[in-house]
Amino acid sequence: MIDNYVINENPITIKRALISVFDKNGIEEFAKFLSEKNIEIVSTGGTSALLKKAQIPIVEINDFTNFPEIMGGRVKTINPLVEGGILALRDQHESDMMMNNINQIDLVVCNLYPFTTVIKNKDHTLSDALENIDIGGPTMIRSAAKNVGWVVVATHPNDYALIIQELNKEGEISYNTRISLAKKAFATTASYETAISNYITKDEYPSQMGLTLKKHSKLRYGENPHQSASAYQISENNSNNILNAKQLQGKKLSYNNIMDGDAALSCLKEFTETACVIVKHANPCGVSTGESSLEAFNRAFAADSVSAFGGIIAMNSKCTNEIAKELDKIFVEIVIAPSFDSEALDIFAKKKNLRIMQIGDIKSMPIGHDIRNLEGGLLIQEINRDRLTINELNIVTKKSPTNEQLQSMLFGWRVLKHVKSNAIITIKDKTTVGIGAGQVSRIDAVEIALIKSGRNIKNSILCSDAFFPFRDSIDRVSKSELGAIIQPGGSIKDLEVINACNEYEIPMVFTGRRCFKH
């Protein structure tokens, strides 16, 4: 290390460039431009072959180093004459360079072997993955970025235009441009190494974990106007999610829009049958299935039409013009669907601010992990993909539920997973009737669900995300002509609760597992 080194912040002239790229988009045009500026080009392997074919003058890397490419191209640029030319401090290492015949390299143009693309192929082998781990590329990129005072680094084809523009205008490259490209370079190599580490480790919860995030968009603000915010994507996640959706019209998504859209899609992915989910403040307020998308929407909306105002509408089948006509009568923030009738889009176009999001196949469970931010850390867990079956239901009361009630219980359990705890919901005919979400006492959640249910409570199914600690909830619902109850069980007072259900002749089943959502 060099003590008290002061970084050169003056503009620099480019006299020599080293070009070694896997992604060759735009490289011919860029190299031709550099050559026309009398910048010497040193190049390697397939890149040099491409440039020579385009009749662009280049110096082969083995001529530059007086050392051949060896081991099938595995060793090309890991050489003191290359690394010295990149890392040399022009104001301090001139004598070392002269003594060792090192020529300075002012511009490094390099992108990396497509490791992440290769490992996405389900038929790839470990050998395929290892052979696509770039060694020389990251070394050159990091060296150039480290020596930002004297060297320019370009790691992506979209960097070329910036360099061309500045050389045409100024004839040299400013420090601000160099530092900007260096930041991008270090982010590129960090992301690359993280992908390799995560792949090789193959441990769901390793002792160390890297997470690569790619900026999706800068947001106007966060949950509240005084909070700044941006949206980031996990680089390896290519699922059909809210950040990957195509926006067909409307205002830019806000922080809260993204949160609500994600919550809606997460719930919607529970269903393979035609379904509609309406979300408000990250909680479902209406969920239903139907023979058609229109029927599913109408039932979900009718479940709580008041709360649906200003909400998010998500469906897993085509949004038709009939649905668009219904939505035209109310205010909603977002409509999400895999496709839209052209007539529906024409109707939506009248509401310029309405956000229309097209997403791919969403009849599949979400992938990946649930990651929660803490002050000073993260909590990481499996996504709750629990799919309850009838055979797993344990009937604990004297009176048994009907088969129709059992089917409604399974529907309710799928919805319940997506409601903030403590959660109580009521279900009838595979449609939510009342949702009591996010209460600190279970009896309060019961009370809200009953209020929301109103007269529709009769013969509905009550679903609880955790056990009833006392019989008070059963006493409360006994006056409502409830159809049946599903809950996890597991309380020390289970027998008291079961006896209460027997007393009121309410069928009840235990799932044996809970579905908290915090």
Q: 32's torsion region: left (phi>0), alpha (psi -120 to 50) or beta?
A: alpha
Of 94, 102, 184, 193, which Cα lies nearest the Cα of 139? 193
Return d(Cα 483, Cα 505) in angstroms, integer.
10
Measured CA distances, 261 to 405, 431, 511 (Å): 30, 20, 29
Q: Is the distance from CB of 159 to CB of 181 less than 8 angstroms?
A: yes
Query: What is the residue type of 72?
Result: G
Q: Is residue 15 among the annotated active site residues?
A: no
How far out from the chain centre does Cα 346 lie? 30
Tokens 């959706």 found at: 245
Tokens 């035609």 found at: 274
Tokens of 431: 């449609």
Catalytic pick among 146, 216, 251, 318: 146
Return d(Cα 296, Cα 140) in angstroms, integer.
57
Q: 136's torsion region: left (phi>0), alpha (psi -120 to 50) or beta?
A: alpha
Return d(Cα 481, Cα 458) in angstroms, integer.
5
Return d(Cα 369, Cα 373) in angstroms, integer.
13
Q: Which long-range contacts (CB under 8 A, 24 or more apart) does 187-193 make?
A: 188/112, 188/141, 188/155, 188/156, 189/138, 189/141, 189/142, 191/235, 192/112, 192/115, 192/116, 192/134, 192/138, 193/138
Return d(Cα 95, Cα 114) in angstroms, integer.
39
Any idea what DSSP says for residue 365?
-
Return d(Cα 447, Cα 465) in angstroms, integer.
15
Catalytic pick among 24, 184, 216, 281: 281
Of 439, 450, 516, which Cα lies nearest the Cα of 480? 450
Return d(Cα 90, Cα 104) in angstroms, integer.
8
How far out from the chain centre does Cα 279 lie? 19
| Per-residue three-class SS string for 204-223 | CCCCCCCCCEEEEEEECCCC
Q: Is residue 281 among the annotated active site residues?
A: yes
Query: Which residues belong to the active site?
Result: 146, 281
